[in-house]
Amino acid sequence: MIAHSFAKAAPAPALSIVAPAYNERPNIRPLVHAIARAMGEATWELIVVDDDSPDGTAAEVAAMVGEGAPVRCIRRVGRRGLASAVVEGLLAARSELVAVIDADLQHDETRLPVMLELLRTSDVDLVVGSRHVAGGGMGEWDMRRQRMSRVATWIAHRLAGVAVSDPMSGFFAVRRAVVEAAIYDLSQQGYKILLDILTSSPRPLKVAEVGYVFRDRHAGTSKLDVVVLIEYAFLLIDKLTRGLIPPRFVLFCAIGGLGLACHLAVLDLAIGQGMAFLPAQATATLCAMAFNYVLNNAITYRSARLKGARFVLGYLVFSAVCSLGALANISVANLTLREMGSWPLAGVAGALMSSVFNFGVATHFVWRPRRRRRRAKVVLRADA
Q: Does 223 bind ligand GDD (CB under 6 A)?
A: yes
Q: Nearest approach, Cβ of 51 to ligand GDD (angstroms)?
A: 4
Site for ligand GDD (CB under 6 A): which residue of 13, 20, 70, 190? 20
Q: Which does 168 bind (CB under 5 to 8 A by kind): ligand GDD, Mn ion, none?
A: ligand GDD
Q: Does 103 bind ligand GDD (CB under 6 A)?
A: yes
Of 44-52, 122-130, 196-204, 325-333, the segment contacting ligand GDD by CB under 6 A is 44-52
C-alpha distances in angstroms, 202 versus 100, 153, 186? 21, 22, 11
Of the two residues 173 and 351, which places its CB atom closer to ligand GDD in the complex? Answer: 173
Of the two residues 152 and 353, which places its CB atom closer to ligand GDD in the complex? Answer: 152
Of the two residues 128 and 288, which places its CB atom closer to ligand GDD in the complex? Answer: 128
Q: Does 60 bind ligand GDD (CB under 6 A)?
A: no
Of 164-172, 250-258, 288-296, 341-349, the segment contacting ligand GDD by CB under 6 A is 164-172
Of the two residues 89 and 350, which places its CB atom closer to ligand GDD in the complex? Answer: 89
Of the two residues 187 and 285, which places its CB atom closer to ligand GDD in the complex? Answer: 187
Q: Does 22 bind ligand GDD (CB under 6 A)?
A: yes
Q: Nearest approach, Cβ of 131 to Mn ion (angstroms)?
A: 13
Site for ligand GDD (CB under 6 A): which residue of 43, 146, 222, 323? 222
How long, in residues, is the chain?
Answer: 384
- Residue from 2, 200, 167, 5 nearest 87 by CA: 200
Of the two residues 148 and 352, which places its CB atom closer to ligand GDD in the complex? Answer: 148
Binding mask 106-125 for Mn ion (x = CB under 5 A): x-------------------
> Do 98 and 173 contact (CB within 8 A), yes or no?
yes
Q: Does 46 bind ligand GDD (CB under 6 A)?
A: no
> Do 87 and 194 contact (CB within 8 A), yes or no?
no
Of 46-54, 61-69, 117-125, 174-182, the segment contacting ligand GDD by CB under 6 A is 46-54
Site for Mn ion (CB under 5 A): which residue of 60, 104, 109, 209? 104
Of the two residues 105 and 195, which places its CB atom closer to Mn ion in the complex? Answer: 105
Q: Nearest approach, Cβ of 370 to ligand GDD (angstroms)?
A: 18
* Binding residues for ligand GDD restricted to 167-206, rule: CB under 6 A: 168-170, 191
AA identity, residue 345: L
The site for Mn ion (CB under 5 A) is made up of 104, 106
The site for ligand GDD (CB under 6 A) is made up of 20-22, 24, 49-51, 80-82, 85, 102-104, 106, 149, 168-170, 191, 222-224
